[in-house]
Amino acid sequence: MSASGVNKVVLAYSGGLDTSIILKWLEDEYQCEVVAFTADIGQGEEVEPARAKAEAAGIKEIYVEDLTEEFVRDYVFPMFRANTVYEGAYLLGTSIARPLIAKRLVEIANETGADAIAHGATGKGNDQVRFELGAYALKPDVKIIAPWREWDLLSREKLMAYAETHGIPVELKRGGKKSPYSMDANLLHISYEGYDLEDPWTEPGEEMWRWTVSPEQAPDQPTYIELTYEQGDITAIDGEPMSPATVLRTLNRIGGENGIGRDDIVENRYVGMKSRGCYETPGGTIMLKAHRAMESLTLDREAAHLKDELMPRYADMVYNGYWWSPEREMLQAAIDQTQKVVNGVVRLKLYKGNVMVVGRKSSSDSLFDESIATFEDDAGAYDQKDAGGFIKLNALRLRVAAKRKSSTR
């Protein structure tokens, strides 16, 4: 047993500067063995180089895993069944990836006999909360090491000096051009924070965006797509069946080409501070619009309205890290029950940053009855005289209150 009480720790390892430093720091500070875990959740960069870096650092147990299908199937799709949006704008791209990573950290700790898990989230952000709430929910006695809350390497200069002292290679990504922003990417989105975005009045430069063209540069002709839904999830695009991850990749590409999915947000972090961030979520923006259109045709009015009332609570649970909580699981069960009838096809028109619903149909679950809704002769399908009694009954309390007011004047 090491002096720290930790013999082995599983580190969420990207291969970048921060986690490479954390890897060495854990070995030195805790005198323990480190297991490196790298998750491919569609961040758009090769993850295999992380394996080579970990091997070069002397790590014996290395996990590099493609989790893209699980990520979309078991996390993104269930979240979009709820039409989830945080504070009216954020589609929760970073938030929804954390419970999956936490789950695999715990599973690998169990598989390898590790005493602890570690992550590279800072003490100012939401991710520390999300990782740790998830881990504790799945392994109550797990020890969690958060270096940013322990060490004194609290500036870029100190990190670089530590890397130089310990021979940790520092590489510039993307052809030598390193972004000045703090970025997080997965198959659902890419986020940008820091640098000039720390001034909420500053408009981000066009060169910052990576997935989307500007609406001004998008094609002058609209793109039409048709999305097939089965129980609330997209299963085909333009009639071609696709896996969940392929659906999202395809929508990201089509949406990005049409300038869709850019957001500039000041949000309330769970730890108490406000933070300005920019996000690209082209596929998710399309999915949200299309799913609501499919529900508009197939969901009962009161079920749809109740879902809308519950959605902000659900969004808070995802944003704040309570994916594995009983309340989120309870809400998910209710949401999934409503989705049994969300089947059909939605046709969308994509044009210069806009997503427009131009058609929706459902052969078996549509609640739209043209014979009742028509402005033409409905052949008695709806008796308009019934509306008079309906209105009077609903007006009864208003009339009573109005009489009371007039009698007291």
Q: Catalytic residues, which ones?
A: 18, 98, 127, 182
Vertex 289 angle, CA 285 and 292, to 5°: 140
Residues 6+ apart with CB under 8 A from 133: 102, 320, 321, 322, 324, 325
- Chain CA centroid to CA 275, Å: 17
Phi, psi of 241 (to 5 degrees): -60, 140
CA 193, 197, 203, 209 dihedral sign is negative
Residues 6+ apart with CB under 8 A from 333: none
What residue spans of 166-281 are helical by DSSP H? 244-257
Q: Quick one: which of 34, 38, 23 has its CA closest to 60?
A: 34
- Give the C-alpha separation, 184 to 33, whole Å: 27
- Which residues share a beta bridge with 142? none
How far apart, in Å, do the first and last CA atoms of the chain sit?
Answer: 84
Specify whether the CB–CB gap between 132 and 163 falls below 8 A: no
Specify whether the CB–CB gap between 118 and 22 falls below 8 A: yes
Specify whether the CB–CB gap between 333 and 110 falls below 8 A: no
DSSP 63-104: EEEE-HHHHIIIIIHHHHHTT--BTTTB--TTGGGHHHHHHH
- Give the C-alpha separation, 283 to 353, whole Å: 12
Residue 228 to residues 231, 251, 351, Cα–Cα distance (Å): 10, 13, 20
| Pairing status of strand 33-40 against strand 62-66 | parallel
